[in-house]
A and B are shown apart, each in its own frame.
Chain A
Amino acid sequence: MSEKKPSKEREIKGAKAKAVFMLFLAAIIALTFVVYAVFEDDLMHSIGLIAIAFILLVMFGVFALRRYRDAQRGLVFEDERSRRVMERAASRTFYVSIYVLLLVGWLSENAIDFRDISQATSVVIGITALIFFAFWLYFNRKEI
Protein backbone atom coordinates (compact mmCIF):
# COMPACT_ATOMS: atom_id res chain seq x y z
CA MET A 1 0.00 0.00 0.00
CA SER A 2 1.45 3.39 -0.97
CA GLU A 3 1.82 5.97 1.78
CA LYS A 4 0.27 9.35 1.05
CA LYS A 5 2.71 12.26 1.52
CA PRO A 6 1.67 15.13 3.80
CA SER A 7 0.25 18.10 1.87
CA LYS A 8 2.90 20.53 3.19
CA GLU A 9 5.70 18.36 1.84
CA ARG A 10 3.93 18.11 -1.52
CA GLU A 11 3.50 21.88 -1.55
CA ILE A 12 7.23 22.44 -0.96
CA LYS A 13 8.13 19.88 -3.63
CA GLY A 14 5.76 21.64 -6.07
CA ALA A 15 7.28 25.03 -5.30
CA LYS A 16 10.79 23.68 -5.91
CA ALA A 17 9.69 22.15 -9.22
CA LYS A 18 8.13 25.47 -10.27
CA ALA A 19 11.38 27.31 -9.46
CA VAL A 20 13.42 24.89 -11.56
CA PHE A 21 10.88 25.13 -14.41
CA MET A 22 11.04 28.94 -14.25
CA LEU A 23 14.83 28.86 -14.58
CA PHE A 24 14.55 26.40 -17.48
CA LEU A 25 12.04 28.67 -19.25
CA ALA A 26 14.31 31.70 -18.73
CA ALA A 27 17.23 29.76 -20.18
CA ILE A 28 15.21 28.89 -23.30
CA ILE A 29 14.12 32.53 -23.79
CA ALA A 30 17.69 33.77 -23.26
CA LEU A 31 18.98 31.14 -25.71
CA THR A 32 16.47 32.37 -28.32
CA PHE A 33 17.86 35.89 -27.96
CA VAL A 34 21.42 34.57 -28.30
CA VAL A 35 20.49 32.64 -31.48
CA TYR A 36 18.94 35.82 -32.92
CA ALA A 37 22.10 37.72 -31.93
CA VAL A 38 24.35 35.21 -33.73
CA PHE A 39 22.43 35.55 -37.00
CA GLU A 40 22.07 39.34 -36.74
CA ASP A 41 24.17 41.34 -39.24
CA ASP A 42 24.42 44.51 -37.17
CA LEU A 43 27.00 44.15 -34.37
CA MET A 44 25.23 46.68 -32.10
CA HIS A 45 21.96 44.77 -32.45
CA SER A 46 23.77 41.55 -31.55
CA ILE A 47 25.26 43.13 -28.43
CA GLY A 48 21.83 44.52 -27.48
CA LEU A 49 20.17 41.12 -27.87
CA ILE A 50 22.86 39.38 -25.80
CA ALA A 51 22.48 42.08 -23.12
CA ILE A 52 18.70 41.46 -23.02
CA ALA A 53 19.35 37.70 -22.73
CA PHE A 54 21.77 38.27 -19.87
CA ILE A 55 19.40 40.62 -17.99
CA LEU A 56 16.50 38.16 -18.43
CA LEU A 57 18.60 35.27 -17.17
CA VAL A 58 19.81 37.20 -14.11
CA MET A 59 16.29 38.46 -13.27
CA PHE A 60 14.63 35.07 -13.64
CA GLY A 61 17.60 33.45 -11.87
CA VAL A 62 17.23 35.66 -8.80
CA PHE A 63 13.45 35.12 -8.84
CA ALA A 64 13.77 31.33 -9.12
CA LEU A 65 16.49 31.19 -6.46
CA ARG A 66 14.32 33.15 -4.00
CA ARG A 67 11.41 30.86 -4.75
CA TYR A 68 13.55 27.77 -4.21
CA ARG A 69 15.04 29.14 -0.96
CA ASP A 70 11.59 30.08 0.40
CA ALA A 71 10.30 26.60 -0.40
CA GLN A 72 13.21 25.03 1.46
CA ARG A 73 12.44 27.18 4.52
CA GLY A 74 8.81 26.05 4.41
CA LEU A 75 7.51 29.45 3.27
CA VAL A 76 4.98 29.87 0.50
CA PHE A 77 5.96 31.93 -2.51
CA GLU A 78 2.44 32.95 -3.47
CA ASP A 79 -0.24 34.14 -1.10
CA GLU A 80 -3.41 36.25 -1.22
CA ARG A 81 -1.46 39.53 -1.20
CA SER A 82 0.95 38.57 -3.99
CA ARG A 83 -2.00 37.31 -6.05
CA ARG A 84 -3.86 40.58 -5.46
CA VAL A 85 -0.79 42.56 -6.57
CA MET A 86 -0.47 40.42 -9.71
CA GLU A 87 -4.17 40.80 -10.54
CA ARG A 88 -4.07 44.58 -10.21
CA ALA A 89 -0.86 44.88 -12.22
CA ALA A 90 -2.28 42.60 -14.93
CA SER A 91 -5.58 44.48 -15.23
CA ARG A 92 -3.86 47.89 -15.48
CA THR A 93 -1.35 46.50 -17.98
CA PHE A 94 -4.21 45.24 -20.14
CA TYR A 95 -5.73 48.73 -20.45
CA VAL A 96 -2.39 50.42 -21.08
CA SER A 97 -1.31 47.79 -23.62
CA ILE A 98 -4.24 48.74 -25.87
CA TYR A 99 -2.90 52.29 -26.05
CA VAL A 100 0.64 50.98 -26.59
CA LEU A 101 -0.68 48.91 -29.51
CA LEU A 102 -2.40 51.97 -30.99
CA LEU A 103 0.73 54.09 -30.49
CA VAL A 104 3.05 51.54 -32.11
CA GLY A 105 0.55 51.21 -34.98
CA TRP A 106 0.58 54.97 -35.49
CA LEU A 107 4.38 55.15 -35.19
CA SER A 108 4.84 52.37 -37.74
CA GLU A 109 2.83 54.41 -40.26
CA ASN A 110 4.32 57.81 -39.49
CA ALA A 111 7.65 57.71 -37.69
CA ILE A 112 9.38 54.34 -37.30
CA ASP A 113 10.15 52.02 -40.17
CA PHE A 114 9.75 48.55 -38.69
CA ARG A 115 11.38 45.70 -40.63
CA ASP A 116 8.18 43.63 -40.62
CA ILE A 117 5.05 43.02 -38.57
CA SER A 118 6.83 40.55 -36.26
CA GLN A 119 9.33 43.25 -35.24
CA ALA A 120 6.49 45.66 -34.38
CA THR A 121 4.73 42.88 -32.44
CA SER A 122 7.95 42.14 -30.53
CA VAL A 123 8.25 45.82 -29.61
CA VAL A 124 4.66 45.84 -28.28
CA ILE A 125 5.28 42.65 -26.28
CA GLY A 126 8.50 44.06 -24.85
CA ILE A 127 6.90 47.37 -23.84
CA THR A 128 3.90 45.53 -22.33
CA ALA A 129 6.27 43.35 -20.26
CA LEU A 130 8.07 46.45 -18.96
CA ILE A 131 4.74 48.15 -18.13
CA PHE A 132 3.60 45.05 -16.24
CA PHE A 133 6.86 45.00 -14.28
CA ALA A 134 6.48 48.72 -13.42
CA PHE A 135 2.86 48.22 -12.26
CA TRP A 136 3.89 45.17 -10.25
CA LEU A 137 6.61 47.18 -8.49
CA TYR A 138 4.14 50.02 -7.84
CA PHE A 139 1.36 47.84 -6.38
CA ASN A 140 3.87 45.75 -4.42
CA ARG A 141 4.83 48.86 -2.44
CA LYS A 142 1.41 50.49 -2.29
CA GLU A 143 -1.27 49.92 0.35
CA ILE A 144 -3.78 47.42 -1.05
Chain B
Amino acid sequence: MRNRIKELRARYDLTQEDLARMVGVRRETIVFLEKGKYNPSLKLAHDVAVALRTTIDKLFTFDDERAFTKQR
Protein backbone atom coordinates (compact mmCIF):
# COMPACT_ATOMS: atom_id res chain seq x y z
CA MET B 1 0.00 0.00 0.00
CA ARG B 2 1.31 3.42 -0.96
CA ASN B 3 0.10 6.78 0.24
CA ARG B 4 0.59 10.51 -0.23
CA ILE B 5 0.54 11.50 3.43
CA LYS B 6 4.10 12.83 3.49
CA GLU B 7 3.58 14.82 0.30
CA LEU B 8 0.32 16.40 1.44
CA ARG B 9 1.63 17.01 4.94
CA ALA B 10 4.53 18.97 3.42
CA ARG B 11 2.13 20.87 1.18
CA TYR B 12 0.12 22.09 4.16
CA ASP B 13 3.27 22.64 6.23
CA LEU B 14 2.27 20.18 8.93
CA THR B 15 4.67 18.23 11.11
CA GLN B 16 4.03 14.59 11.97
CA GLU B 17 3.15 15.73 15.48
CA ASP B 18 0.64 18.28 14.15
CA LEU B 19 -1.09 15.64 12.06
CA ALA B 20 -1.02 13.17 14.97
CA ARG B 21 -2.67 15.77 17.22
CA MET B 22 -5.28 16.56 14.55
CA VAL B 23 -6.39 12.95 14.09
CA GLY B 24 -5.83 11.85 17.70
CA VAL B 25 -3.09 9.26 17.31
CA ARG B 26 0.52 8.84 18.42
CA ARG B 27 3.29 10.38 16.31
CA GLU B 28 4.73 6.89 15.74
CA THR B 29 1.47 5.87 14.05
CA ILE B 30 1.91 8.69 11.52
CA VAL B 31 5.53 7.56 10.94
CA PHE B 32 4.40 3.97 10.25
CA LEU B 33 1.51 5.19 8.09
CA GLU B 34 3.86 7.28 5.93
CA LYS B 35 6.20 4.33 5.51
CA GLY B 36 3.24 2.16 4.48
CA LYS B 37 3.93 -0.15 7.39
CA TYR B 38 0.55 0.21 9.03
CA ASN B 39 -2.88 -0.55 7.63
CA PRO B 40 -5.17 1.97 9.31
CA SER B 41 -8.81 1.45 10.19
CA LEU B 42 -11.35 3.01 7.85
CA LYS B 43 -12.06 5.63 10.52
CA LEU B 44 -8.39 6.65 10.81
CA ALA B 45 -7.93 6.65 7.02
CA HIS B 46 -10.96 8.96 6.78
CA ASP B 47 -9.70 11.26 9.55
CA VAL B 48 -6.25 11.55 7.94
CA ALA B 49 -7.83 12.24 4.54
CA VAL B 50 -10.04 14.97 6.02
CA ALA B 51 -7.07 16.50 7.88
CA LEU B 52 -5.12 16.60 4.61
CA ARG B 53 -8.12 18.00 2.71
CA THR B 54 -8.46 15.05 0.36
CA THR B 55 -10.34 11.77 0.05
CA ILE B 56 -9.34 8.24 1.05
CA ASP B 57 -9.06 6.97 -2.54
CA LYS B 58 -6.74 9.84 -3.46
CA LEU B 59 -4.65 9.37 -0.35
CA PHE B 60 -4.12 5.61 -0.43
CA THR B 61 -3.30 3.43 -3.44
CA PHE B 62 -2.88 -0.31 -3.40
CA ASP B 63 -0.27 -2.13 -5.48
CA ASP B 64 -2.74 -4.86 -6.46
CA GLU B 65 -5.59 -2.42 -7.18
CA ARG B 66 -5.74 -3.42 -10.84
CA ALA B 67 -6.26 -7.08 -9.97
CA PHE B 68 -9.71 -6.25 -8.58
CA THR B 69 -10.72 -3.94 -11.40
CA LYS B 70 -13.07 -5.53 -13.92
CA GLN B 71 -11.62 -5.61 -17.42
CA ARG B 72 -13.79 -3.69 -19.86
| B53 contacts A by Cβ under 8 Å | no
Which residue of chain A is the closest to B39 with respect to CB atoms?
A144
| A48 contacts B by Cβ under 8 Å | no
Residues A79 and B17 in contact, CB atoms below 8 Å apart: no
Residues A75 and B21 in contact, CB atoms below 8 Å apart: yes
A interface secondary structure, majority: loop
Distance between B21 CB and nearest chain A CB, rounded to angstroms: 5
Residues B25 and A80 in contact, CB atoms below 8 Å apart: yes
Distance between A12 CB and nearest chain B CB, rounded to angstroms: 11
* Residues A81 and B21 in contact in the complex (CB < 8 Å), given A75-B27, A76-B26: no
Which residue of chain A is the closest to B36 with respect to CB atoms?
A143
Tell me the complex Cα distance, A73–B21, Å: 9
| A138 contacts B by Cβ under 8 Å | no
The 7 closest A-B pairs by CB, nearest first: A79-B25, A143-B37, A81-B29, A79-B26, A74-B21, A79-B29, A80-B41
**Chain B: residues with CB nearer than 8 A to chain A?**
17, 20-21, 24-29, 32, 37-41, 44
Known A75-B21, A76-B24; further 7 A-B contacts with Cβ < 8 A: A70-B26, A77-B26, A78-B26, A79-B25, A79-B26, A81-B28, A81-B29
